[in-house]
Structure 1
Amino acid sequence: MTLKVAVTGASGRMGRFLIEAVQAVEGVELGAAIVRPGSSLLGADSGEMCGLGRNGLVLSSELDPSSFDVLIDFTSPEATLANVHFCAEHGKGIVIGTTGFTAEQKAYLDAAAEKTPLCIASNFSTGVNLVFSLLEIAAQVMGDEADIEIVEAHHRHKVDAPSGTALSMGEAIADTLGRDLEKVAVYGREGQTGARDRDTIGFATVRGGDVVGEHTAMFLCDGERVEVTHKASSRMAFARGAVRAAQWLHGRAPGKYSMRDVLEI
């Protein structure tokens, strides 16, 4: 049975990779490609837009529940919440790669997961989700003796900081150590900050150029340090993971799932 997938934000950088990834997977079909109302690309062929040749599916600004089984959404928090509401109303699964949600918005997602299956991840690449597991091991072994810092770099167009992936790395470490990330996170330093508190987890952000995504967690001890790094060279790593998540999510019971659930790690 063919799985029909809809992609929102289809004309954006990530949307184009998602369309390419969907079309590359056997048994998965692009059911809809959604762009914002008023876009100059409305009515254009989605395959041709991505440089893949015509596929006969034109860009639309409205979701039709008959056109897809699972929606993939890498847009903005506000747009994602509207799409989650639509999917919950029509019993459709949704894969969410959007980051930057507020606490209130996260609560809304939790409530929606009682009606329909959601797969939410700050990063859908296989490598990053492996890194989360490695960080838990490193925290178990070194966390109480190490100063922990997380550095991330992204392209100039990224609008949230630190990245969702960096925060997820911090959460994986903090949870392992029994710490509350909201209480121990330090976001940048300036001026006379005083000696470092061992229990804190520091975050540093770099923005510039066309960096797809780089993340490093450092466990710094006296005399040695361990660094766990992931570097993405193409958004296709995220797109393939999202399509894999859509395949896994289809037919699941309502609930809030993660990419680690998909990968069983």
Structure 2
Amino acid sequence: MLKVILNGANGRMGRVLQEMIAGDADMVIAAGIDREEFSADFPTFQNMADCDVAADVVIDFSHYTATPAVLDYCVEKQLPVVVATTGLEEDTKKRLLAASEKTAVFFSANMSIGINLLAKAIREITPLLEDDFNVEIIEKHHNQKKDSPSGTALLLADAVNDAVKEKKTYIYGRHGNDLSNPLSELGIHAVRGGTIPGEHTVLYAGPDEIIELNHLALSRNIFANGAVKAAKYVSQKSAGLYDMEQLIDEK
């Protein structure tokens, strides 16, 4: 039985994970961390450092400002950790690398299996289109999402740049009266409204033809499912930095 400490346990994704783990015969929530007090059938704490419950892995689905403390805790306790929180600052990403030298760290800007398969497809087709096609990314999310552009949009943009001969410059929204829109630019556009769980479109626009690769999240379950798979995967790993592409490749 895999014992999980869930950080951000009472947030939107935390509650989805609670339900998913409750239905998994191989996992149990050993403790939940959330800055707001809440009741549950497992021990709860408002501060990560106060958690004294034995566990096998930590899942962090919280706020980007909380992730450094999670990493410190996991290094101290030698616990594998899944960082599913988005909007991480550059300093926190450096701390991810440092923590991975001490324990197993799994990080993905999007926990969806489908999104990560989309990123792999992008790396395959982009080199064939680079010379003639503009590339634009449009992402849509609910109006409660704090970060923009989404971590997933950046993940997909980076997949494009991983595959091209000449790196593209990211343009965050386009405005102005005298734009040239060269192939060397990659536009990233954000839409916020309603309860959209998440939609990402990678658009290749060439001479007289358009190719669109689209991923639509119909519920938050896909992200929780990915986090559960990641927790099971990383709990068996030694110190190092792991991601969803490695998980998919090892299936």
TM-score interval (norm. to shorter) = over 0.9
TM-score, with length taken from structure 2: 0.94
Check whether the contact 1:84–1:112 (CA below 8 A) recurs between aligned residues: yes
Check whether the contact 2:37–2:46 (CA below 8 A) recurs between aligned residues: no
Aligned partner of 2:86 in structure 1 is: 99
| Residue 253 (1) aligns with residue 238 (2) | yes
Write the distance in 1 (CA, Å) between the matches of 2:119 and 2:99. Answer: 26
Write the distance in 2 (CA, Å) between the matches of 1:90 and 1:178. Answer: 43
Aligned length: 248
Q: How does 1:146-161 map to 2 (within 5 A)?
A: 146-161=133-148
Write the distance in 2 (CA, Å) between the matches of 1:60 and 1:138. Answer: 47
* Unpaired segments ≥5 residues, structure 2: none
Identity of aligned residues (%): 35
| Residue 133 (1) aligns with residue 120 (2) | yes
Check whether the contact 1:9–1:73 (CA below 8 A) recurs between aligned residues: yes
| Residue 78 (1) aligns with residue 68 (2) | no
Check whether the contact 1:4–1:70 (CA below 8 A) recurs between aligned residues: yes
Check whether the contact 1:145–1:221 (CA below 8 A) recurs between aligned residues: yes
Aligned mate of 1:210, from 176, 183, 195: 195
Check whether the contact 1:65–1:90 (CA below 8 A) recurs between aligned residues: no
Aligned partner of 2:95 in structure 1 is: 108
- Compute the displacement of 1:104 (Å): 2.0
- Compute the displacement of 1:254 (Å): 0.7
Write the distance in 2 (CA, Å) between the matches of 1:144 and 1:25. Answer: 48
Write the distance in 2 (CA, Å) between the matches of 1:180 and 1:144. Answer: 12
Please give the per-residue CA displacement for 1:38-90, whole angstroms capped at 9, x wherever unaligned.
x242xx12xxxxxxxxxx32433244354321111111222011011100111
- Helix, strand or coil for the counterpart of 2:101? coil
- Compute the displacement of 1:134 (Å): 1.1
Aligned partner of 1:11 in structure 2 is: 10
* Unpaired segments ≥5 residues, structure 1: 46-55
Write the distance in 1 (CA, Å) between the matches of 2:247 and 2:179. Answer: 43
Aligned partner of 2:185 in structure 1 is: 200
Instruction: Give the letter aligned to residue 20 of structure 2.
Output: A
Aligned partner of 2:76 in structure 1 is: 89
Check whether the contact 1:154–1:211 (CA below 8 A) recurs between aligned residues: yes
Write the distance in 2 (CA, Å) between the matches of 1:260 and 1:228. Answer: 18
- Compute the displacement of 1:144 (Å): 2.2
Write the distance in 1 (CA, Å) between the matches of 2:131 and 2:69. Answer: 42
Instruction: Give the letter aligned to residue 246 of structure 1.
Output: A
Write the distance in 2 (CA, Å) between the matches of 1:193 and 1:159. Answer: 31
- Helix, strand or coil for the counterpart of 1:215? strand
Check whether the contact 2:60–2:83 (CA below 8 A) recurs between aligned residues: yes
Write the distance in 2 (CA, Å) between the matches of 1:195 and 1:187. Answer: 15
CA RMSD of aligned residues (A): 1.4
Aligned mate of 1:61, from 46, 52, 56: 46
Check whether the contact 1:155–1:211 (CA below 8 A) recurs between aligned residues: yes
TM-score, with length taken from structure 1: 0.89
- Compute the displacement of 1:213 (Å): 0.4
Check whether the contact 2:31–2:53 (CA below 8 A) recurs between aligned residues: no
- Helix, strand or coil for the counterpart of 1:21? helix
Check whether the contact 1:152–1:214 (CA below 8 A) recurs between aligned residues: yes
Change (3 A) 1:65 1:93: farther
Greater CA drift, 222-231 or 69-78:
69-78
Check whether the contact 2:67–2:92 (CA below 8 A) recurs between aligned residues: no
- Compute the displacement of 1:102 (Å): 2.2
Check whether the contact 1:5–1:22 (CA below 8 A) recurs between aligned residues: no
After TM superposition, where is structure 1 displaced by more than 6 Å over at least 4 residues in a row? Answer: none
- Helix, strand or coil for the counterpart of 1:6? strand
